[in-house]
Amino acid sequence: MTESIPKTNLLGMSPEKLEAFFAELGEKRFRATQVLKWMHQLGAETFDDMTNISKSLRVKLNQVAEIREPEVVMHDVSKDGTRKWVIRVDGGSCVESVLIPEGDRATLCISSQVGCALDCSFCSTGKQGFNRNLTASEIIGQVRIAIKSFGPMDPAQPRRVTNVVFMGMGEPLMNFENVVSAIKLMMEDNAYGLSKRRVTLSTAGVVPGIDKLIEETDVSLAISLHAPNDELRNQLVPINKRYPIEELIAACNRYLERLNDRRVITVEYTLMAGINDQPVQARELGRLLKRLPCKLNLIPFNPFPNSGYDRPSEDAIAAFKQVMLKAGIMTTVRRTRGAEIDAACGQLVGQVEDRTRRSQKYIPIVQESTV
Ligand code: SAH
């Protein structure tokens, strides 16, 4: 039996990588641009769709390459218009992505890993353990799938996805290369053409990754802070023990300096009753954030079974916000969207075949997510 050579999936290739691929085939550079447009603006499923490419090149491409998107196993639309996809990736695990429409914007929240290795104490993805990084095709595939859910792709139509945030499952800076390839496609004029202000990478604080990022792209940056001091943050976000708050703030300031375009960091702060929502903590946070050009996004905790945390009262949320505003920090509260389809922050569980065995500590949660 002759084993067939695995085909190269072109879907996740950054513009540079695609150019290199065509150069290796002995083809001209502009072929990369043509194929990018076909895949990412016109939604081509096969090379045979690509009518401005010669028959002979199409035959060659069919032999060595493919355009393969991950498979959608569930697509749900919530009453408020929020859409959620459960996407099966190679190996059988599932990840989730969510599209949140708001006025003339539609923000797509995408996943970067199957599970997550960081184990933040209040995040349901973390509780499921870690399986593997998503490929660049599996990451950009989530964008293409969301756009196609509105009908055939058509660059003449108004954008169906206006913003992308890496706030789904996984820690994007722990999957650096694939995430950067996908970001480049999002911001590439011949692909999705989103502006750097409309693509946001969110990190729990992988400091070396922040420094590496600026060498590759000028994407907008969000950090998941959740605590005003190291003592508390060490408990909530364990990676803080490796990269404490001072180092994280310094890295963010370096990032902004290099951007040099008056953008600010988005600081995410999940509010948990009695844990990090007290006025004294708000004041401490106000002092800390004075040293970072930022806007603060308060996320009231979204409960999940056996999490051990509660959402604060509306009064406590409003009081916390008031202290922040008084301290001169631009502050918004993220309102829960898509809760009835389990699409809210921290509710994305996918289906992770855990390799870390961490999930065994949380058996009730895993059972819940698989029925
Ligand atoms: N690993 C990256 C990307 C995930 S972002 C990061 O940590 O930034 C997901 C955001 O939702 C993070 O800010 C996270 O802290 C927040 N979140 C996680 N679980 C949550 C929950 N149960 N309720 C509210 N927010 C949650």
Query: Is the pLDDT score of 80 beyond 50?
Result: yes
- Cβ 267 vs Cβ 260: under 8 Å: no
Find the mean pLDDT for residues 246-255.
98
The dihedral through the CA atoms of 205, 206, 210, 216 has a sign that is: negative
Residue 104 exposure: Cα atoms within 13 Å on the Cβ side: 2
Instruction: Please tell me the pTM assigned to this model.
Output: 0.93
255-273 burial string, b = 16+ CB within 10 Å, else e? bbeebeeeeebbbbbbbbb
Determine the distance separating the centroid of ligand 1 and the alpha carbon of 320, expressed in angstroms: 19
Most confident of the following: 251-255, 343-347, 349-353, 359-363: 251-255
Residue whose Cα lies nearest atom 24 of ligand 1: it is 301
Determine the distance separating the centroid of ligand 1 and the alpha carbon of 167, expressed in angstroms: 7
- DSSP state for residue 241 in the 8-state scheme: G
C-beta of 204 in contact with ligand 1 (< 6 A) = yes
As a whole number, the mean pLDDT across the chain is: 92
Q: Of the residues 268, 296, 365, 369, which should be mutated to test ligand 1's pocket, given the most ligand atoms within 8 Å of the CB? A: 268
C-beta of 112 in contact with ligand 1 (< 6 A) = no
C-beta of 113 in contact with ligand 1 (< 6 A) = no
- Cβ 237 vs Cβ 206: under 8 Å: no
Q: Hey, which residues are catalytic here?
A: 96, 345
C-beta of 239 in contact with ligand 1 (< 6 A) = no
Q: Is 247 exposed, middle or buried (0-12, 13-18, 19+ CB in 10 A)?
A: middle
pLDDT given for residue 363 in this prediction: 38
Determine the distance separating the centroid of ligand 1 and the alpha carbon of 14, expressed in angstroms: 27
- Cβ 168 vs Cβ 96: under 8 Å: yes
- Cβ 10 vs Cβ 45: under 8 Å: no
pLDDT given for residue 365 in this prediction: 33
pLDDT band at 368 (very low <50, low <70, confident <90, very high): very low
Start-to-end CA span in the chain (Å): 40
Q: What is the pLDDT of residues 288-318, one digit of tens each?
A: 999 999 999 999 999 888 899 999 999 999 9
pLDDT given for residue 252 in this prediction: 98
C-beta of 78 in contact with ligand 1 (< 6 A) = no
The number of the ligand 1 atom at minimal distance from the alpha carbon of 302 is 23
Q: Is 245 exposed, middle or buried (0-12, 13-18, 19+ CB in 10 A)?
A: buried
Determine the distance separating the centroid of ligand 1 and the alpha carbon of 345, expressed in angstroms: 6
Nearest CA among 14, 46, 39, 12 for reference residue 138: 12
Q: Of the residues 112, 128, 200, 202, which should be mutated to test ligand 1's pocket, given the most ligand atoms within 8 Å of the CB? A: 202
**Which of the residue ranges 9-13, 153-157, 205-209 would you say has the lowest mean pLDDT?**
153-157
pLDDT given for residue 348 in this prediction: 65
pLDDT given for residue 351 in this prediction: 64
Nearest CA among 105, 173, 87 for reference residue 97: 87
Nearest CA among 311, 300, 244 for reference residue 269: 300
The number of the ligand 1 atom at minimal distance from the alpha carbon of 222 is 8
pLDDT given for residue 364 in this prediction: 34
C-beta of 236 in contact with ligand 1 (< 6 A) = no
| Residue position matching structure tokens 């491409």 | 61
Q: What is the pLDDT of residues 279-294, one digit of tens each?
A: 999 999 999 999 999 9
Query: Is the pLDDT score of 164 beyond 70?
Result: yes
Find the mean pLDDT for residues 133-148.
97
CA 227 – CA 237 distance, rounded (Å): 9
pLDDT band at 274 (very low <50, low <70, confident <90, very high): very high
Find the mean pLDDT for residues 27-54.
96
| Structure-block tokens of residue 117 | 């290795």
Q: Where are the alpha helices (DSSP H) in 128-225?
A: 136-148, 176-187, 207-216
pLDDT band at 239 (very low <50, low <70, confident <90, very high): very high
pLDDT band at 349 (very low <50, low <70, confident <90, very high): low
- DSSP state for residue 96 in the 8-state scheme: E
CA 8 – CA 265 distance, rounded (Å): 37
pLDDT given for residue 127 in this prediction: 86
